[in-house]
Structure 1
Protein backbone atom coordinates (compact mmCIF):
# COMPACT_ATOMS: atom_id res chain seq x y z
CA UNK A 1 0.00 0.00 0.00
CA UNK A 2 1.41 3.34 -1.02
CA UNK A 3 1.98 6.26 1.35
CA UNK A 4 -0.83 8.32 -0.20
CA UNK A 5 -3.28 5.44 0.21
CA UNK A 6 -2.31 5.00 3.89
CA UNK A 7 -2.70 8.70 4.53
CA UNK A 8 -6.10 8.72 2.90
CA UNK A 9 -7.17 5.77 5.03
CA UNK A 10 -5.97 7.50 8.22
CA UNK A 11 -7.80 10.79 7.54
CA UNK A 12 -11.22 9.66 8.92
CA UNK A 13 -9.61 8.49 12.15
CA UNK A 14 -7.68 11.76 12.57
CA UNK A 15 -10.79 13.79 11.84
CA UNK A 16 -12.79 11.78 14.38
CA UNK A 17 -10.13 12.34 17.04
CA UNK A 18 -10.10 16.10 16.43
CA UNK A 19 -13.90 16.30 16.31
CA UNK A 20 -14.31 14.86 19.84
CA UNK A 21 -12.24 17.58 21.59
CA UNK A 22 -14.14 20.23 19.66
CA UNK A 23 -17.46 18.79 20.83
CA UNK A 24 -16.21 18.66 24.41
CA UNK A 25 -14.98 22.26 24.15
CA UNK A 26 -18.34 23.47 22.82
CA UNK A 27 -20.15 21.53 25.54
CA UNK A 28 -17.91 23.14 28.18
CA UNK A 29 -18.59 26.58 26.71
CA UNK A 30 -22.34 25.98 26.77
CA UNK A 31 -22.09 24.81 30.39
CA UNK A 32 -20.15 27.94 31.35
CA UNK A 33 -22.71 30.09 29.54
CA UNK A 34 -25.56 28.46 31.50
CA UNK A 35 -23.70 28.93 34.79
CA UNK A 36 -23.03 32.56 33.91
CA UNK A 37 -26.68 33.14 33.00
CA UNK A 38 -27.79 31.62 36.32
CA UNK A 39 -25.40 33.87 38.26
CA UNK A 40 -26.52 37.00 36.40
CA UNK A 41 -30.25 36.24 36.68
CA UNK A 42 -30.74 37.56 40.27
CA UNK A 43 -29.08 40.87 39.42
CA UNK A 44 -31.13 41.21 36.24
CA UNK A 45 -34.36 40.51 38.15
CA UNK A 46 -33.49 43.11 40.79
CA UNK A 47 -32.66 45.68 38.12
CA UNK A 48 -35.95 45.01 36.37
CA UNK A 49 -38.00 45.21 39.56
CA UNK A 50 -36.34 48.18 41.22
CA UNK A 51 -34.97 50.23 38.32
CA UNK A 52 -36.33 49.65 34.83
CA UNK A 53 -39.97 49.02 35.76
CA UNK A 54 -40.14 52.02 38.17
CA UNK A 55 -38.52 54.26 35.55
CA UNK A 56 -40.99 53.14 32.88
CA UNK A 57 -43.91 53.63 35.29
CA UNK A 58 -42.59 57.08 36.17
CA UNK A 59 -42.57 58.06 32.50
CA UNK A 60 -46.11 56.76 32.05
CA UNK A 61 -47.62 58.19 35.25
CA UNK A 62 -46.15 61.64 34.60
CA UNK A 63 -48.66 62.08 31.77
CA UNK A 64 -51.71 60.94 33.75
CA UNK A 65 -53.76 62.14 36.73
CA UNK A 66 -53.00 59.06 38.85
CA UNK A 67 -53.23 59.27 42.63
CA UNK A 68 -51.94 56.88 45.25
CA UNK A 69 -55.49 56.15 46.44
CA UNK A 70 -58.34 57.20 44.15
CA UNK A 71 -61.88 55.90 43.50
CA UNK A 72 -61.51 56.42 39.75
CA UNK A 73 -58.89 54.95 37.42
CA UNK A 74 -56.21 57.23 36.03
CA UNK A 75 -56.46 58.63 32.54
CA UNK A 76 -54.10 60.42 30.17
CA UNK A 77 -53.80 64.18 30.74
CA UNK A 78 -50.90 65.10 28.46
CA UNK A 79 -48.60 67.85 29.70
CA UNK A 80 -50.93 69.13 32.43
CA UNK A 81 -48.61 68.00 35.23
CA UNK A 82 -45.62 69.75 33.68
CA UNK A 83 -47.63 72.94 33.07
CA UNK A 84 -48.63 72.93 36.72
CA UNK A 85 -45.07 72.10 37.76
CA UNK A 86 -43.43 74.99 35.95
CA UNK A 87 -45.92 77.42 37.49
CA UNK A 88 -45.41 76.05 41.01
CA UNK A 89 -43.24 78.36 43.19
CA UNK A 90 -42.39 75.45 45.49
CA UNK A 91 -40.84 73.58 42.56
CA UNK A 92 -38.63 76.54 41.65
CA UNK A 93 -37.63 76.92 45.29
CA UNK A 94 -36.72 73.23 45.48
CA UNK A 95 -34.75 73.53 42.24
CA UNK A 96 -32.79 76.51 43.57
CA UNK A 97 -32.11 74.75 46.86
CA UNK A 98 -30.93 71.61 45.06
CA UNK A 99 -28.46 73.55 42.92
CA UNK A 100 -27.38 75.67 45.89
CA UNK A 101 -26.61 72.56 47.92
CA UNK A 102 -24.75 70.92 45.04
CA UNK A 103 -22.68 73.98 44.08
CA UNK A 104 -21.40 74.33 47.66
CA UNK A 105 -21.09 70.72 48.79
CA UNK A 106 -19.45 69.20 45.69
CA UNK A 107 -16.27 71.34 45.61
CA UNK A 108 -15.93 71.72 49.39
CA UNK A 109 -16.46 68.06 50.20
CA UNK A 110 -14.20 66.78 47.40
CA UNK A 111 -11.41 69.21 48.35
CA UNK A 112 -11.68 68.41 52.07
CA UNK A 113 -11.70 64.68 51.35
CA UNK A 114 -8.57 65.04 49.20
CA UNK A 115 -6.85 66.99 51.98
CA UNK A 116 -7.64 64.25 54.50
CA UNK A 117 -6.46 61.57 52.08
CA UNK A 118 -3.13 63.39 51.61
CA UNK A 119 -2.71 63.68 55.37
CA UNK A 120 -3.27 59.98 56.06
CA UNK A 121 -1.38 58.72 53.00
CA UNK A 122 1.72 58.20 55.10
CA UNK A 123 3.34 55.24 56.79
CA UNK A 124 3.56 56.35 60.40
CA UNK A 125 2.39 54.93 63.68
CA UNK A 126 -1.22 55.70 64.53
CA UNK A 127 -2.36 56.61 61.02
CA UNK A 128 -4.92 53.77 61.01
CA UNK A 129 -6.58 55.34 64.04
CA UNK A 130 -7.20 58.56 62.14
CA UNK A 131 -8.43 56.67 59.07
CA UNK A 132 -10.96 54.89 61.26
CA UNK A 133 -12.07 58.07 63.01
CA UNK A 134 -12.62 59.88 59.72
CA UNK A 135 -14.64 56.97 58.33
CA UNK A 136 -16.90 56.33 61.35
CA UNK A 137 -19.59 58.89 60.30
CA UNK A 138 -19.93 57.13 56.94
CA UNK A 139 -20.94 53.79 58.49
CA UNK A 140 -23.35 55.51 60.89
CA UNK A 141 -26.94 55.71 59.73
CA UNK A 142 -27.72 59.06 58.13
CA UNK A 143 -30.99 59.13 60.10
CA UNK A 144 -29.12 58.74 63.39
CA UNK A 145 -26.61 61.40 62.37
CA UNK A 146 -29.42 63.78 61.34
CA UNK A 147 -31.23 63.32 64.66
CA UNK A 148 -27.99 63.91 66.58
CA UNK A 149 -27.18 67.10 64.68
CA UNK A 150 -30.77 68.32 65.00
CA UNK A 151 -30.33 68.32 68.78
CA UNK A 152 -26.92 69.95 68.43
CA UNK A 153 -28.40 72.77 66.33
CA UNK A 154 -31.11 73.64 68.85
CA UNK A 155 -30.92 77.06 70.56
CA UNK A 156 -29.62 75.41 73.75
CA UNK A 157 -27.67 72.75 71.86
CA UNK A 158 -23.98 71.94 71.66
CA UNK A 159 -23.21 74.21 68.70
CA UNK A 160 -24.42 77.38 70.42
CA UNK A 161 -22.78 76.34 73.68
CA UNK A 162 -19.42 75.96 71.92
CA UNK A 163 -19.83 79.32 70.19
CA UNK A 164 -20.56 81.02 73.49
CA UNK A 165 -17.59 79.33 75.15
CA UNK A 166 -15.12 80.11 72.38
CA UNK A 167 -16.25 83.75 71.96
CA UNK A 168 -16.75 84.37 75.71
CA UNK A 169 -20.51 84.91 75.22
CA UNK A 170 -19.97 87.50 72.50
CA UNK A 171 -21.77 85.25 69.95
CA UNK A 172 -25.03 83.85 71.29
CA UNK A 173 -25.83 81.66 68.29
CA UNK A 174 -29.23 81.19 66.70
CA UNK A 175 -31.95 78.64 66.09
CA UNK A 176 -30.03 77.19 63.17
CA UNK A 177 -32.71 74.98 61.62
CA UNK A 178 -35.58 77.47 62.05
CA UNK A 179 -33.78 80.37 60.42
CA UNK A 180 -34.19 80.72 56.66
CA UNK A 181 -30.64 82.07 56.34
CA UNK A 182 -28.88 79.35 58.32
CA UNK A 183 -30.98 76.21 57.79
CA UNK A 184 -29.45 75.12 54.49
CA UNK A 185 -25.83 76.02 55.44
CA UNK A 186 -26.28 74.03 58.67
CA UNK A 187 -27.43 70.99 56.69
CA UNK A 188 -24.53 71.47 54.26
CA UNK A 189 -22.00 71.45 57.10
CA UNK A 190 -23.48 68.29 58.60
CA UNK A 191 -23.65 66.54 55.21
CA UNK A 192 -20.02 67.31 54.41
CA UNK A 193 -18.93 66.04 57.83
CA UNK A 194 -20.92 62.84 57.44
CA UNK A 195 -19.84 61.83 53.92
CA UNK A 196 -16.31 63.18 53.63
CA UNK A 197 -14.80 59.95 54.94
CA UNK A 198 -16.23 57.89 52.09
CA UNK A 199 -14.66 60.06 49.40
CA UNK A 200 -11.47 60.28 51.44
CA UNK A 201 -11.10 56.52 51.05
CA UNK A 202 -11.60 56.80 47.28
CA UNK A 203 -9.00 59.56 47.04
CA UNK A 204 -6.65 57.44 49.16
CA UNK A 205 -7.03 54.45 46.86
CA UNK A 206 -6.20 56.69 43.91
CA UNK A 207 -3.13 58.09 45.67
CA UNK A 208 -1.82 54.62 46.34
CA UNK A 209 -1.96 53.72 42.63
CA UNK A 210 0.55 56.45 41.72
CA UNK A 211 4.01 54.84 41.26
CA UNK A 212 6.52 55.82 43.93
CA UNK A 213 9.19 56.20 41.24
CA UNK A 214 7.54 59.42 40.05
CA UNK A 215 7.97 61.03 43.45
CA UNK A 216 11.57 59.83 43.61
CA UNK A 217 12.26 61.39 40.22
CA UNK A 218 10.62 64.63 41.37
CA UNK A 219 12.83 64.65 44.48
CA UNK A 220 15.92 64.21 42.32
CA UNK A 221 14.82 67.20 40.24
CA UNK A 222 14.45 69.28 43.38
CA UNK A 223 10.66 69.68 43.15
CA UNK A 224 8.84 71.32 46.04
CA UNK A 225 5.81 69.80 47.77
CA UNK A 226 3.42 71.93 45.72
CA UNK A 227 5.21 71.06 42.46
CA UNK A 228 5.00 67.35 43.27
CA UNK A 229 1.31 67.68 43.92
CA UNK A 230 0.72 69.72 40.75
CA UNK A 231 2.79 67.69 38.32
CA UNK A 232 2.71 64.18 39.85
CA UNK A 233 -0.20 63.72 42.23
CA UNK A 234 -2.96 65.66 40.49
CA UNK A 235 -2.37 64.18 36.98
CA UNK A 236 -2.20 60.72 38.53
CA UNK A 237 -5.67 61.19 40.05
CA UNK A 238 -7.44 61.90 36.74
CA UNK A 239 -9.68 58.82 36.76
CA UNK A 240 -10.27 59.09 40.51
CA UNK A 241 -11.33 62.72 40.44
CA UNK A 242 -13.79 62.02 37.60
CA UNK A 243 -15.41 59.28 39.68
CA UNK A 244 -15.40 61.47 42.79
CA UNK A 245 -16.97 64.40 40.95
CA UNK A 246 -19.80 62.33 39.48
CA UNK A 247 -20.63 60.44 42.69
CA UNK A 248 -20.59 63.54 44.92
CA UNK A 249 -22.76 65.45 42.46
CA UNK A 250 -25.37 62.69 42.23
CA UNK A 251 -25.43 62.31 46.02
CA UNK A 252 -25.72 66.08 46.53
CA UNK A 253 -28.56 66.45 44.05
CA UNK A 254 -30.36 63.50 45.68
CA UNK A 255 -30.48 65.15 49.11
CA UNK A 256 -33.46 63.81 51.08
CA UNK A 257 -32.83 62.10 54.42
CA UNK A 258 -31.28 65.12 56.15
CA UNK A 259 -34.13 67.37 55.02
CA UNK A 260 -36.80 64.86 56.01
CA UNK A 261 -35.41 64.36 59.52
CA UNK A 262 -34.08 67.80 60.39
CA UNK A 263 -36.32 70.45 58.80
CA UNK A 264 -39.15 68.78 56.79
CA UNK A 265 -38.46 71.30 54.03
CA UNK A 266 -38.80 74.36 56.23
CA UNK A 267 -38.65 77.02 57.27
CA UNK A 268 -40.70 78.54 54.43
CA UNK A 269 -39.43 75.93 51.94
CA UNK A 270 -35.85 77.19 52.38
CA UNK A 271 -34.54 73.61 52.56
CA UNK A 272 -37.01 71.85 50.25
CA UNK A 273 -35.22 69.88 47.51
CA UNK A 274 -36.55 68.19 44.40
CA UNK A 275 -36.31 64.70 45.85
CA UNK A 276 -37.99 65.75 49.09
CA UNK A 277 -40.77 67.51 47.18
CA UNK A 278 -41.33 64.44 45.00
CA UNK A 279 -41.56 62.10 48.02
CA UNK A 280 -43.80 64.46 49.98
CA UNK A 281 -46.08 65.01 46.99
CA UNK A 282 -46.29 61.33 46.10
CA UNK A 283 -46.78 59.80 49.54
CA UNK A 284 -48.05 62.49 51.92
CA UNK A 285 -50.26 64.30 49.43
CA UNK A 286 -50.88 61.09 47.38
CA UNK A 287 -50.41 62.90 44.05
CA UNK A 288 -48.56 60.11 42.29
CA UNK A 289 -48.71 61.61 38.79
CA UNK A 290 -47.45 65.01 39.90
CA UNK A 291 -44.64 63.38 41.89
CA UNK A 292 -43.72 61.35 38.80
CA UNK A 293 -43.45 64.56 36.79
CA UNK A 294 -41.07 65.98 39.40
CA UNK A 295 -39.05 62.76 39.37
CA UNK A 296 -38.85 62.83 35.58
CA UNK A 297 -37.50 66.38 35.60
CA UNK A 298 -35.02 65.37 38.31
CA UNK A 299 -33.90 62.36 36.26
CA UNK A 300 -33.26 64.54 33.21
CA UNK A 301 -31.43 67.08 35.38
CA UNK A 302 -29.08 64.52 36.96
CA UNK A 303 -28.45 62.82 33.61
CA UNK A 304 -27.59 66.14 31.97
CA UNK A 305 -25.25 67.21 34.77
CA UNK A 306 -23.50 63.82 34.76
CA UNK A 307 -23.01 63.87 30.99
CA UNK A 308 -21.64 67.41 31.09
CA UNK A 309 -19.24 66.48 33.89
CA UNK A 310 -18.13 63.38 32.03
CA UNK A 311 -17.52 65.43 28.89
CA UNK A 312 -15.54 68.12 30.70
CA UNK A 313 -13.39 65.58 32.57
CA UNK A 314 -12.83 63.25 29.63
CA UNK A 315 -9.35 62.14 28.59
CA UNK A 316 -8.59 64.63 25.82
CA UNK A 317 -5.64 62.54 24.62
Structure 2
Protein backbone atom coordinates (compact mmCIF):
# COMPACT_ATOMS: atom_id res chain seq x y z
CA UNK A 1 0.00 0.00 0.00
CA UNK A 2 2.87 2.35 0.69
CA UNK A 3 4.74 1.48 -2.51
CA UNK A 4 3.31 4.30 -4.71
CA UNK A 5 4.10 7.01 -2.15
CA UNK A 6 7.56 5.58 -1.44
CA UNK A 7 8.28 5.32 -5.16
CA UNK A 8 7.34 8.96 -5.73
CA UNK A 9 9.49 10.08 -2.80
CA UNK A 10 12.45 8.13 -4.14
CA UNK A 11 11.91 9.43 -7.68
CA UNK A 12 11.34 13.11 -6.90
CA UNK A 13 13.25 13.60 -3.62
CA UNK A 14 15.93 10.98 -3.02
CA UNK A 15 17.21 10.63 -6.60
CA UNK A 16 17.43 14.42 -7.27
CA UNK A 17 19.18 14.94 -3.93
CA UNK A 18 21.78 12.27 -4.69
CA UNK A 19 22.20 13.73 -8.19
CA UNK A 20 22.74 17.19 -6.66
CA UNK A 21 25.50 15.81 -4.46
CA UNK A 22 27.15 14.36 -7.56
CA UNK A 23 26.80 17.60 -9.59
CA UNK A 24 28.20 19.65 -6.71
CA UNK A 25 31.51 17.80 -6.98
CA UNK A 26 31.99 18.76 -10.64
CA UNK A 27 32.28 21.91 -12.71
CA UNK A 28 29.06 21.42 -14.70
CA UNK A 29 27.77 24.02 -17.14
CA UNK A 30 24.71 23.80 -19.36
CA UNK A 31 25.47 23.52 -23.07
CA UNK A 32 29.21 23.20 -22.51
CA UNK A 33 30.66 20.72 -25.06
CA UNK A 34 33.50 19.92 -22.67
CA UNK A 35 33.16 17.09 -20.18
CA UNK A 36 32.53 18.11 -16.55
CA UNK A 37 35.75 18.44 -14.57
CA UNK A 38 36.02 17.06 -11.04
CA UNK A 39 36.36 19.77 -8.37
CA UNK A 40 35.82 17.82 -5.16
CA UNK A 41 34.63 20.00 -2.29
CA UNK A 42 35.73 23.25 -3.93
CA UNK A 43 32.17 24.49 -4.42
CA UNK A 44 31.36 23.90 -0.74
CA UNK A 45 34.56 25.64 0.35
CA UNK A 46 33.71 28.66 -1.80
CA UNK A 47 30.17 28.85 -0.41
CA UNK A 48 31.49 28.88 3.15
CA UNK A 49 34.76 30.83 2.82
CA UNK A 50 34.92 32.85 -0.41
CA UNK A 51 33.92 36.45 0.51
CA UNK A 52 32.00 37.04 -2.72
CA UNK A 53 30.08 33.76 -2.79
CA UNK A 54 29.67 33.20 0.95
CA UNK A 55 28.53 36.80 1.47
CA UNK A 56 25.64 36.37 -0.95
CA UNK A 57 24.79 32.96 0.52
CA UNK A 58 24.75 34.24 4.10
CA UNK A 59 22.64 37.26 3.13
CA UNK A 60 20.18 34.96 1.38
CA UNK A 61 20.09 32.62 4.40
CA UNK A 62 19.44 35.60 6.69
CA UNK A 63 16.51 36.66 4.51
CA UNK A 64 15.14 33.11 4.72
CA UNK A 65 15.39 33.10 8.51
CA UNK A 66 13.74 36.53 8.83
CA UNK A 67 10.99 35.42 6.47
CA UNK A 68 10.34 32.23 8.46
CA UNK A 69 10.56 33.99 11.84
CA UNK A 70 7.75 36.35 10.82
CA UNK A 71 5.59 34.16 8.59
CA UNK A 72 5.38 31.04 10.79
CA UNK A 73 3.91 32.62 13.97
CA UNK A 74 1.85 35.31 12.23
CA UNK A 75 0.37 33.03 9.58
CA UNK A 76 -0.36 30.24 12.07
CA UNK A 77 -2.03 32.62 14.54
CA UNK A 78 -4.08 34.26 11.78
CA UNK A 79 -5.12 30.85 10.41
CA UNK A 80 -6.24 29.75 13.87
CA UNK A 81 -8.25 32.95 14.31
CA UNK A 82 -9.92 32.47 10.93
CA UNK A 83 -10.63 28.81 11.72
CA UNK A 84 -12.32 29.82 14.97
CA UNK A 85 -14.33 32.41 13.07
CA UNK A 86 -15.57 30.14 10.27
CA UNK A 87 -16.27 27.29 12.71
CA UNK A 88 -19.40 29.12 13.82
CA UNK A 89 -22.65 27.92 12.28
CA UNK A 90 -24.18 31.15 11.05
CA UNK A 91 -25.97 31.89 7.76
CA UNK A 92 -23.59 32.40 4.84
CA UNK A 93 -20.49 31.13 6.66
CA UNK A 94 -19.71 28.85 3.71
CA UNK A 95 -19.13 31.92 1.55
CA UNK A 96 -16.52 33.24 3.98
CA UNK A 97 -14.80 29.84 4.12
CA UNK A 98 -14.54 29.86 0.33
CA UNK A 99 -13.25 33.45 0.23
CA UNK A 100 -10.57 32.78 2.84
CA UNK A 101 -9.43 29.65 0.98
CA UNK A 102 -9.58 31.22 -2.50
CA UNK A 103 -5.98 32.61 -2.51
CA UNK A 104 -4.66 29.06 -1.99
CA UNK A 105 -6.26 27.98 -5.27
CA UNK A 106 -4.59 30.78 -7.24
CA UNK A 107 -1.19 29.93 -8.77
CA UNK A 108 1.61 31.71 -6.94
CA UNK A 109 2.56 33.46 -10.20
CA UNK A 110 -0.92 34.99 -10.42
CA UNK A 111 -0.79 36.00 -6.75
CA UNK A 112 2.56 37.72 -7.32
CA UNK A 113 1.18 39.62 -10.33
CA UNK A 114 -1.87 40.76 -8.34
CA UNK A 115 0.30 42.03 -5.50
CA UNK A 116 2.67 43.67 -7.96
CA UNK A 117 -0.29 45.78 -9.10
CA UNK A 118 -1.24 46.54 -5.49
CA UNK A 119 2.29 47.48 -4.40
CA UNK A 120 3.47 49.26 -7.57
CA UNK A 121 5.25 52.58 -7.05
CA UNK A 122 3.53 55.92 -7.38
CA UNK A 123 -0.06 56.34 -8.52
CA UNK A 124 0.13 53.07 -10.48
CA UNK A 125 -0.17 51.05 -7.28
CA UNK A 126 -3.54 50.44 -5.69
CA UNK A 127 -2.12 50.76 -2.17
CA UNK A 128 -0.41 54.07 -2.91
CA UNK A 129 -3.58 55.37 -4.57
CA UNK A 130 -5.62 54.47 -1.50
CA UNK A 131 -3.07 56.08 0.84
CA UNK A 132 -3.03 59.23 -1.31
CA UNK A 133 -6.83 59.42 -1.25
CA UNK A 134 -7.26 58.91 2.50
CA UNK A 135 -4.27 61.03 3.54
CA UNK A 136 -4.99 63.93 1.22
CA UNK A 137 -1.74 63.39 -0.66
CA UNK A 138 0.52 63.23 2.42
CA UNK A 139 1.29 59.54 1.84
CA UNK A 140 1.22 57.46 -1.30
CA UNK A 141 4.63 57.74 -2.93
CA UNK A 142 6.21 54.73 -1.24
CA UNK A 143 8.14 52.28 -3.42
CA UNK A 144 7.06 49.17 -1.52
CA UNK A 145 8.87 46.60 -3.67
CA UNK A 146 11.93 48.68 -4.52
CA UNK A 147 12.79 50.01 -1.07
CA UNK A 148 15.31 48.03 0.95
CA UNK A 149 13.21 48.63 4.09
CA UNK A 150 9.88 47.38 2.74
CA UNK A 151 10.71 44.92 -0.07
CA UNK A 152 11.02 41.83 2.15
CA UNK A 153 8.06 42.92 4.27
CA UNK A 154 5.95 43.19 1.11
CA UNK A 155 6.84 39.63 0.11
CA UNK A 156 6.01 38.46 3.64
CA UNK A 157 2.55 40.05 3.51
CA UNK A 158 1.94 38.50 0.08
CA UNK A 159 2.95 35.06 1.32
CA UNK A 160 0.81 35.23 4.47
CA UNK A 161 -2.22 36.27 2.43
CA UNK A 162 -1.71 33.46 -0.05
CA UNK A 163 -0.99 30.61 2.37
CA UNK A 164 -3.18 31.39 5.35
CA UNK A 165 -6.28 29.71 3.89
CA UNK A 166 -4.62 26.31 3.64
CA UNK A 167 -3.63 26.37 7.30
CA UNK A 168 -7.13 27.53 8.18
CA UNK A 169 -8.68 24.43 6.61
CA UNK A 170 -6.34 22.10 8.51
CA UNK A 171 -6.99 23.84 11.83
CA UNK A 172 -10.72 23.97 11.15
CA UNK A 173 -10.75 20.19 10.78
CA UNK A 174 -8.86 19.88 14.09
CA UNK A 175 -11.26 22.25 15.86
CA UNK A 176 -14.22 20.20 14.73
CA UNK A 177 -12.69 17.14 16.41
CA UNK A 178 -12.54 18.75 19.87
CA UNK A 179 -15.36 17.16 21.93
CA UNK A 180 -18.24 19.52 22.61
CA UNK A 181 -18.52 18.00 26.09
CA UNK A 182 -15.28 19.72 27.09
CA UNK A 183 -16.73 23.13 26.26
CA UNK A 184 -19.92 22.29 28.14
CA UNK A 185 -17.92 21.26 31.20
CA UNK A 186 -15.88 24.46 30.99
CA UNK A 187 -19.08 26.54 30.86
CA UNK A 188 -20.40 24.71 33.92
CA UNK A 189 -17.17 25.66 35.69
CA UNK A 190 -17.92 29.28 34.73
CA UNK A 191 -14.91 29.58 32.42
CA UNK A 192 -14.99 32.65 30.20
CA UNK A 193 -14.20 32.66 26.48
CA UNK A 194 -10.46 33.19 26.90
CA UNK A 195 -10.19 30.45 29.52
CA UNK A 196 -12.06 28.01 27.26
CA UNK A 197 -9.69 28.89 24.43
CA UNK A 198 -6.56 28.39 26.55
CA UNK A 199 -7.60 25.28 28.47
CA UNK A 200 -9.84 23.50 25.92
CA UNK A 201 -9.23 24.72 22.38
CA UNK A 202 -5.43 24.96 22.37
CA UNK A 203 -4.84 21.56 24.04
CA UNK A 204 -7.32 20.02 21.62
CA UNK A 205 -5.51 21.26 18.51
CA UNK A 206 -1.95 21.29 19.87
CA UNK A 207 -0.75 18.37 17.74
CA UNK A 208 -2.20 19.95 14.60
CA UNK A 209 -0.62 23.30 15.48
CA UNK A 210 2.78 21.59 15.75
CA UNK A 211 2.29 20.01 12.32
CA UNK A 212 1.12 23.31 10.78
CA UNK A 213 4.04 25.23 12.26
CA UNK A 214 6.56 22.64 11.04
CA UNK A 215 5.03 22.52 7.57
CA UNK A 216 4.93 26.31 7.32
CA UNK A 217 8.55 26.54 8.45
CA UNK A 218 9.67 24.24 5.65
CA UNK A 219 7.66 26.19 3.07
CA UNK A 220 9.00 29.50 4.42
CA UNK A 221 12.60 28.36 4.22
CA UNK A 222 12.25 27.31 0.59
CA UNK A 223 10.41 30.46 -0.54
CA UNK A 224 11.24 31.23 -4.15
CA UNK A 225 8.33 31.53 -6.58
CA UNK A 226 6.88 34.86 -5.52
CA UNK A 227 10.30 36.51 -5.33
CA UNK A 228 11.31 35.21 -8.75
CA UNK A 229 8.06 36.33 -10.40
CA UNK A 230 8.24 39.80 -8.85
CA UNK A 231 11.91 40.17 -9.75
CA UNK A 232 11.68 38.92 -13.34
CA UNK A 233 8.30 40.37 -14.38
CA UNK A 234 9.26 44.03 -14.19
CA UNK A 235 7.80 44.54 -10.74
CA UNK A 236 10.77 46.60 -9.57
CA UNK A 237 11.57 44.24 -6.70
CA UNK A 238 14.78 44.97 -4.79
CA UNK A 239 16.59 41.66 -5.38
CA UNK A 240 19.39 42.35 -2.91
CA UNK A 241 16.90 42.87 -0.07
CA UNK A 242 14.76 39.81 -0.89
CA UNK A 243 17.25 37.30 -2.27
CA UNK A 244 16.72 33.86 -0.68
CA UNK A 245 18.81 30.69 -0.81
CA UNK A 246 16.55 29.02 -3.37
CA UNK A 247 16.65 32.17 -5.49
CA UNK A 248 20.43 32.15 -5.19
CA UNK A 249 20.58 28.51 -6.32
CA UNK A 250 18.29 29.04 -9.33
CA UNK A 251 20.10 32.17 -10.52
CA UNK A 252 23.45 30.40 -10.11
CA UNK A 253 22.19 27.51 -12.26
CA UNK A 254 20.38 29.35 -15.04
CA UNK A 255 21.68 32.93 -15.00
CA UNK A 256 25.33 32.16 -14.22
CA UNK A 257 25.21 28.70 -15.88
CA UNK A 258 26.95 27.15 -12.87
CA UNK A 259 25.17 23.88 -12.09
CA UNK A 260 27.90 22.77 -9.69
CA UNK A 261 27.55 25.81 -7.42
CA UNK A 262 23.76 25.66 -7.56
CA UNK A 263 23.84 22.00 -6.54
CA UNK A 264 26.23 22.71 -3.67
CA UNK A 265 23.98 25.52 -2.43
CA UNK A 266 20.97 23.19 -2.60
CA UNK A 267 22.74 20.44 -0.66
CA UNK A 268 23.96 22.79 2.07
CA UNK A 269 20.54 24.39 2.36
CA UNK A 270 18.82 20.99 2.48
CA UNK A 271 20.97 20.02 5.45
CA UNK A 272 20.25 23.35 7.18
CA UNK A 273 16.49 22.89 6.70
CA UNK A 274 16.64 19.33 8.04
CA UNK A 275 18.55 20.44 11.14
CA UNK A 276 16.21 23.37 11.81
CA UNK A 277 13.15 21.14 11.31
CA UNK A 278 14.50 18.54 13.74
CA UNK A 279 15.25 21.22 16.33
CA UNK A 280 11.80 22.74 15.96
CA UNK A 281 10.19 19.31 16.18
CA UNK A 282 12.16 18.46 19.32
CA UNK A 283 11.27 21.76 21.00
CA UNK A 284 7.58 21.55 20.17
CA UNK A 285 7.41 17.90 21.18
CA UNK A 286 8.94 18.68 24.58
CA UNK A 287 6.44 21.51 25.11
CA UNK A 288 3.61 19.22 24.04
CA UNK A 289 4.74 16.56 26.50
Q: Identify whether the pair has TM-score above 0.5, normalized to the shorter chain.
A: yes
Q: How far apart, in 2, do the equivalents of 1:168 and 1:104 lie?
A: 32
Q: How far apart, in 2, do the equivalents of 1:41 and 1:215 lie?
A: 42
Q: Is the 8 A contact 1:113 1:197 kept in 2?
A: yes
1:186 aligns with 2:146: no
- 1:220-245 Cα offsets, whole Å, 9 max, x none, are 00001110011111111111011111
Deviation at residue 268 of structure 1 after TM alignment: 5.2
Q: Is the 8 A contact 2:130 2:140 kept in 1?
A: no
Q: 1:161 aligns with which of 129, 149, 165?
A: 129
Could you tell me which residue of structure 1 aligns to residue 56 of structure 2? 90
1:282 aligns with 2:253: yes
Could you tell me which residue of structure 2 aligns to residue 234 of structure 1? 202
The more displaced of 179-188 and 213-222 is 179-188
Unmatched 5+ residue regions in structure 2? none
Q: How far apart, in 1, do the equivalents of 2:175 and 2:185 lie?
A: 17
1:67 aligns with 2:25: no
Could you tell me which residue of structure 2 aligns to residue 263 of structure 1? 231
**How many residues in Structure 1 have an aligned counterpart in Structure 2?**
279
The more displaced of 51-60 and 73-82 is 73-82
- 1:32-62 Cα offsets, whole Å, 9 max, x none, are xxxx5xxx55544433332221111111222
Structure 1 residues 45, 218: closer, same or farther in 2, change over 3 A?
A: closer
SS at match of 1:177: coil
Q: How far apart, in 2, do the equivalents of 1:269 and 1:180 lie?
A: 8
Could you tell me which residue of structure 2 aligns to residue 53 of structure 1? 15
- Kindly name which structure, 1 or 2, has the bigger radius of gyration based on alpha carbons: 1
Q: How far apart, in 2, do the equivalents of 1:211 and 1:301 lie?
A: 39
Deviation at residue 168 of structure 1 after TM alignment: 2.5
SS at match of 1:178: coil
Q: Is the 8 A contact 2:25 2:260 kept in 1?
A: yes
Could you tell me which residue of structure 2 aligns to residue 80 of structure 1? 42
- 1:76-104 Cα offsets, whole Å, 9 max, x none, are 32221012112222111111111111111
TM-score by length of 1: 0.84
Q: How far apart, in 2, do the equivalents of 1:240 and 1:53 lie?
A: 30
- 1:164-194 Cα offsets, whole Å, 9 max, x none, are 2222322123111111111110111111111
Structure 1 residues 202, 41: closer, same or farther in 2, change over 3 A?
A: closer
TM-score by length of 2: 0.92
SS at match of 1:263: helix
Q: How far apart, in 1, do the equivalents of 2:93 and 2:172 lie?
A: 13
Could you tell me which residue of structure 1 aligns to residue 188 of structure 2? 220
- 1:195-216 Cα offsets, whole Å, 9 max, x none, are 1111011111111110000000
